[in-house]
Amino acid sequence: MGEKILMKGAEVIAEAAIRAGCMAFFGYPITPQNETPEYFSRRMPQLGRVFLQAESEVAAINMVYGAACTGTRVITTSSSPGISLMQEGFSYIANSNVPCVVVNAMRGGPGLGDIAPAQADYFQATKGGGHGDYHSIVIAPHTIQEEADLMFDAFDLADKYRIMVVVLVDGLMGQMMEPVEFKDWVDVKKFKTPEWATVGQGDRDHRNIITSLSILAEGLEKMNLHLQEKYRKIKENEVRYEEYKMDDAEYAVTAFGTVARISKTTVDMARKKGIKLGLIRPITLWPFPTEIINKRAEQLKFFLDSEMNEGQMLEDVKLAVNGKKPVYFFGKLGGVVPTAEDILKEVEKHIEGGK
């Protein structure tokens, strides 16, 4: 760990990726995350690594796919409309079992939307987005420090499972500045080219082939079963969440990213008023922390799910609670950010309603 510095989230994503051994960036600019490619464009050439502004997001994700096939740590960053353009590539990457990291700094949608922060790409990130039966690991930091730490984990998870890892943030997480301390640099000299990488036959007796294509249905079924087995292992081993003041909680907010951050203030405000409120914050949105939410349902009177969308993670929370307790929702749309007071008012409304 080094000295504390004050950084914007968008800068932190780039700096942390670089320290984690990211060797190549391919992307296309879009607000509100342009500070990230801008930062990469300054730093990558200094280190002899690759920064390339592609002609479009479609080109960028296919460059990522290509680099990923060589086992190189590679990243692209974009924001909602740009991420939509990349979906075909994501699906190819999934069925090719190659590792990469994608950062989505979500903005208001649908369509061109606006440049304000939003969380409306939850479905797209966690339920696929592209075609076919696939998942990506999706992680959602809620502070700039956590962003710095999770970028390292994103690359490690991508390599471990040969999978795409989505770091899901929003414009606000990119523009905010907070003190951060980075983990130590990963020594890229120690990286070994993986056995499966397509970097030339060399001394091997066979050529590696990476593809998402199978002409025979049975062959494709086998590829799918392999993917499903991988997803099962990830669900078993990689679920992450944080509980905040949940031990004696009677009510819980569920939220991720920026709204989780705001909800911590809500919890503190509620506690000052004697309301036993807690927060369950999924850190991995896929795999989703179903078990803990289901377990906590026993002790709680209700859940309030809060998001900057029309209720997307809400569906996963409801599935986890499985009807045991009411799950209410409070959301803001189009780039409007809820305040801690807004969320508290909503909690109090439901407490009042339950009396």
Partner 1 sequence: MTEFNVKSLLDEEFQIFGGRIGSGKTEIAINIAIAMTKLSIPNVLFDMDIVKPYIRIRDIKDKIAKYGIEIIAPPDVTRRVDLPILPSNIIGKLMDRGKQKIIDIGGDPYGAGAIAQFKNLFHNGSYNFFFVVNTRRPETSNKEEILNEMNYVQSAARLKITGLVLNTHLRWETTEETVMEGYRILKEVSEETKLPIYFACVDKRHKDIVKNLDLPILPLELFVNPLPPLGG
Q: Shortest CA distance to 267 belongs to which of 288, 242, 298? A: 242
Give dist(CA 24, CA 105) in Å, integer: 19
For partner 1, the closer of residues 89 and 338 by Cβ is 338
Tell me how far, at minimum, the Cβ of 171 lies from partner 1, in Å.
7
Identity at 311, one-letter amino acid code: G
Applying CB under 8 A, among 32, 89, 278, 338 the residue interacting with partner 1 is: 32
User: Are the C-beta atoms of residues 314 and 305 closer than 8 Å to each other?
Assistant: yes
Please tell me the count of residues contacting partner 1 according to CB under 8 A. 32
Q: Please, which of residues 175-204 interact with partner 1 by CB under 8 A? A: 175-179
CB 285 within 8 A of CB 123: no
| Assigned token pair, 109 | 């949608």
Q: Are 10 and 174 a contacting pair, CB within 8 Å?
A: yes
The number of residues in the chain equals 355
Of the listed pieces 29-37, 92-100, 229-237, 299-307, which binds partner 1 according to CB under 8 A?
29-37
Question: Is residue 261 involved in binding partner 1 (CB under 8 A)?
Answer: yes
31 belongs to the binding site for partner 1 (CB under 8 A): yes
Residue 159: name the closest of 119, 217, 101 by CA: 101
Task: Note whether 143 binds partner 1 by CB under 8 A.
Answer: yes
Cα radius of gyration (the chain): 21
In the complex, the smallest distance separating the C-beta of residue 276 from partner 1, rounded to whole angstroms, is 20
Least distance in angstroms from the C-beta of 3 to partner 1: 8
Q: Does 11 bind partner 1 (CB under 8 A)?
A: yes
Q: Which residues bind partner 1 (CB under 8 A)?
A: 4-8, 11, 15, 31-32, 35, 108, 114-117, 143, 171-172, 175-179, 258, 261-262, 264-265, 268, 335, 337, 340
